[in-house]
Amino acid sequence: MRLIAEALTSTRGGRSLFSDLSFSVEGGEALVLMGPNGAGKTTLIRIVAGLLAPSAGAVRLDGGDAERSVGEQCHYVGHLNALKAGLTVEENAGFWCRFLDQGGAADRVEAALLAFGLAELGDIPAAYLSAGQKRRLGLARLLLAERPVWLLDEPTVSLDQAAQEMLAAAAGAHLAAGGLVVAATHVPLGFARARELHLGSRAVTA
C-alpha cells in the first residue's frame, strides 16, 4: 500500500502555503511533517483527509479500497478531540467504534481504552477528564476502527511521557501491520521507520 501526493498546491487566505509538493509513503512507514507554525502542516493533513480541496494536485492511495475515498480510509486526529462532554468515556468511544467500524466488534472499545490507559475511567463523563486524558481518548479512536492511514495533527499536545509512549506503541503496532502514519509535530514522536518532510522552507518571503 502506498499513499501518493502529486504536485499539491495550497493557497489559504491569498497566501501560498506550499506549491508543487509531492511525496509518497509506503505501507509500514511514517512520514513526520516538520516546520514552523503556519508552514501548512495542518493544511496538508486536512487535504489528505479530504476535508480541504487542494488548489492543484491530488492524493491517492495505491492498493487501497477503490470503492472508498482516501479520506474514508484515514483516521483523522486533529487539534480537537471530537468528544461529547455529556457522554461517558465508554459512550464516546462506543459511538465512534460503531459509527466508523461497520463490523463493530464490541471488545475493540475495551482494548482501545486499555491501550491508552483509560480503562478505569469508562464510566466518567468526558467533561471531567483532564486535557491529557481527553487527548488520550481522542487518540483511542485510532484503535476503534481499522483504517490503513493514520493522520495525526500534533498528537502529543498535553500528553505526559507515559501517554506519549502509549501512542508510540500503538503507532508501532499499526506500522508493523503494514499501516501508514502521517503526523505533524514539533517534538520527536519516537516512531520506528519515520521519514521527515520539512515544510515552510520555501514559504513566506519577508
* Binding stretches for another protein (CB under 8 A): 49-53, 68, 71-72, 74-76, 78-87, 91, 95-96, 98-100, 102, 104, 138, 141
* 35 Cβ contact list (under 8 Å, min separation 6): 41, 198, 199, 200, 201
Question: Smallest distance from the beta carbon of 72 to another protein, in angstroms?
Answer: 6
Considering the complex, state which of residue 35 and residue 54 has its C-beta at the smaller distance from another protein. Answer: 54
- Grid cell, residue 150, equals 493514520
Pure H helices in 73-157: 89-100, 107-115, 131-140
CA distance 116 to 129: 13
Shortest separation between residue 173's beta carbon and another protein, angstroms: 21
Q: Give the DSSP letter of residue 88.
A: B
Give the shortest CB-158-to-another protein separation in angstroms: 15
Residue number with CB closer to another protein (13 or 201): 13
Residue number with CB closer to another protein (35 or 134): 134
> In the bound complex, what is the minimum distance in angstroms from residue 109's beta carbon to another protein?
13
Comparison of 125 and 190: residue with beta carbon closer to another protein: 125
CB-based contacts of 143: which residues, under 8 Å, 6+ apart? 108, 111, 112, 115, 116, 170
* CA atoms of 187 and 203, how far apart (whole Å): 21
